Structure 1
Amino acid sequence: MAPLRFGIVGIGYFGRHYVRIFSEGIEGAELIAVATRTTPSVPLANGIRQFHGFSDLVADPEIDAVIIASPPYLHYEMAQAALHAGKHVLTEKPMVLSLEEALQLQKTVLGNGTTFMVGHQYLYNDYIHHLKTELAGGAIGQVKYFFAEHQYFGILRNDIGCFWETATHEFAILDYLFNPGEIVSSIGQTSGVESREDFASASVKFASGLAGSIFVSWFQPEKIRRMTFSGTGGMALFDDRREKKLLFKLQPYPAVDQHKGSFFFDPKNEEIKIPDIHAEEPLKAELAHFIECIRENKKPRTDIEHGLRVTRMLDRVYQGLEHP
């Protein structure tokens, strides 16, 4: 079977990683073209065509699938154009920048017949898969609340603030792990040096009863990507900066009515589990999944419906944030 022929739009900060994966070789696909307005930030193999305009790449009949790794404000326009041109589309996060754009994109995808996928790469992380299995199996009992931190010193964008850029990851993970339904209440705040927020924090509650807090920033001295989950039977930690990224602290929560005053957890009753997981690179697993879905006409894990749910969460929380 002939390989699927890919084009990539944008090969800067993130798109270059897709170029690298193709250069290393991935089964069932090849990169034949890129579109970039600047000098490529990575070397391109001989034979890869370079377009200076997105429309020229999308119009190329030899291209089967398009990866959109452009600045976020272009995602909606480019995804629509590629879908209308009959291309399979993988767009980087955030999928779009408004709920209205997400709803319009959903209409196009459902009436199109090609494969559409959002690049929520944490859902292709083997540690997150293991966490989902453990939580679904009751490893820490009924999960009551979570706390998420995602901060770094990164690119300060002028088309989007840190909330839509970064909190997308956290809401995508929550949707995948729990399918918690819509957000029923939210409160939070933002702050920033320029017109776009550099920091955002929010406390949310879902229709399922799951509650928690999210802290995101792209103007911090330390890189942190961490989520904790607390349940009736223990706690779980996912820390993407650790070598062993998952930790489970198993200890049943004492029944409050058994205690008239304060009580302490007895460390003798706790069990620490640190699973040893051989993990594949998430971005490579994501791309392999996209190729498989095109080949076998399968529904992607991060399809348009998932992307719409995440966008609803982002929109609901962002509308309730206090902006300076």
Structure 2
Amino acid sequence: MGTLGFGVIGTGRFGQHYTRLLREIQGVFLLATASQHENNSEALLENPDIDCVVIASPAATHFEYIKKALKNGKHVLVEKPMVTSAAEAEEIKILIAKSGKIFMVAHQYLYNDYIRALKARIESGDLGEGANINAEHLYPGPIRQDVGVFWDAAPHEMAIIDYLFGPSRVIYAQGIARKVSGAPVDDYVSVDVQFENKVFASLLYNSASLQKTHRIVLTASKGTAIYDDMADDKLKFNLGKEPVIEKISAREPLRSELEHFTSCVRNNTLPLTDIDHGLRVIKNLEMVYEHLN
């Protein structure tokens, strides 16, 4: 397989990151970009020279763009949330099977070297048994019009938990969702979640915060791990002695994500974040969202 032709739908912050990286990665060529405002997505999706489509548009548009891309014979990489309901995700799964194309969800933290190092520690047994998670994801907007802060930010934690501890469905959730800033959608969510595999998570989201915070604290029987995306030392462990800072020469997660996607397309292999992973995440998100007051 020669050079892969790419198109990017969505020209916001993430769309701009993808276009930058696609101009830097070898073996790919960015042929076109499109946005809702310019109404040029149809031409991109029907372009026979485009092999792969990256969908980084607003969440409410993902379902239709995914369907059109697959029906036009494109491999698809879609930003989170993949779609906004389990019913949509199930329909996408059927279309993927019919198309024979590679489909991947852009859950970028699963391509983050610090999260991968955390998974290695868990699998080594260093942290012991059980898992209690406290996560805070706060940021100063933008306030989205199509989905609230839960559907915008919680896919990260749901994907990370699925990755770290294996597939498991939500069996209990209780929390609140608020429109603190007067937004048309929720911009503040606090929720406790219990998974079937006995992982417990307490999650806090706020898209009207004055500053950005993304912190995950994992407590198990032998120690604690802290991932702080905003800190210089992003991953620390306390295993009963002095705190240990995990020193990693980390790559840009989006670059690793894109390179994984292109490798899967070239080798016709399933991505780490394939439709089955994406479907589990959407089902758990939907279950939790239904229990927010």
Normalised-by-shorter TM-score class: over 0.9
Shift in Å, 1:180: 4.8
2: CA distance between counterparts of 1:298 and 1:140?
32
Greater Cα radius of gyration, structure 1 or 2: 1
1:41 is aligned to none
1:156 aligns with 2:143: yes
1:223 is aligned to 212
8 Å contact kept, 1:146–1:211: yes
Q: 1:169 aligns with which of 156, 170, 180?
A: 156
1:302 aligns with 2:273: yes
Matches within 5 A, 1:181-192: 181-192=168-179
Matches within 5 A, 1:35-54: 35-38=34-37, 52-54=39-41
2: CA distance between counterparts of 1:180 and 1:33?
36
Q: 2:237 aligns with which of 224, 239, 248?
A: 248
Shift in Å, 1:65: 0.5
Shift in Å, 1:37: 4.6
Shift in Å, 1:179: 1.3
**TM-score (norm. length: structure 2):** 0.97
Name the SS of the counterpart of 1:289 in structure 2. helix
Shift in Å, 1:55: 1.2
8 Å contact kept, 1:180–1:207: no
Aligned residues: 291
8 Å contact kept, 1:183–1:205: yes
Q: 2:61 aligns with which of 74, 82, 85?
A: 74
1:27 aligns with 2:26: yes
1:261 is aligned to none
Q: 1:278 aligns with which of 249, 253, 256?
A: 249
Shift in Å, 1:10: 1.1
Name the SS of the counterpart of 2:99 in structure 1. coil
Runs of 4 or more consecutive aligned structure 1 residues displaced over 2 Å after TM superposition: none
2: CA distance between counterparts of 1:8 and 1:194?
29
8 Å contact kept, 2:111–2:256: yes
**Counterpart amino acid of 2:255?**
K
Spell out, residue by residue over 1:99-141, the C-alpha distance to the aligned partner (whole angstroms, 9 max, x if none): 1111111111122200000011111000011000001111111
**Counterpart amino acid of 2:206?**
S
Spell out, residue by residue over 1:40-96, the C-alpha distance to the aligned partner (whole angstroms, 9 max, x if none): xxxxxxxxxxx7421111111111000001111000100011001110000111000
Shift in Å, 1:222: 2.0
8 Å contact kept, 2:143–2:183: no
**Counterpart amino acid of 2:154?**
A
Alpha-carbon RMSD: 1.1
Q: Which runs of 5+ in 2 are unaligned?
A: none
Q: 2:199 aligns with which of 210, 213, 226?
A: 210
2:16 is aligned to 16
**Counterpart amino acid of 1:178?**
F
2:105 is aligned to 118
**TM-score (norm. length: structure 1):** 0.88
1: CA distance between counterparts of 2:212 and 2:36?
30
Shift in Å, 1:27: 1.9
Q: Which runs of 5+ in 1 are unaligned?
A: 39-50, 252-269
Shift in Å, 1:221: 1.1
1: CA distance between counterparts of 2:31 and 2:42?
16
Q: 2:186 aligns with which of 171, 183, 197?
A: 197
Q: How many percent identity over aligned positions? A: 42
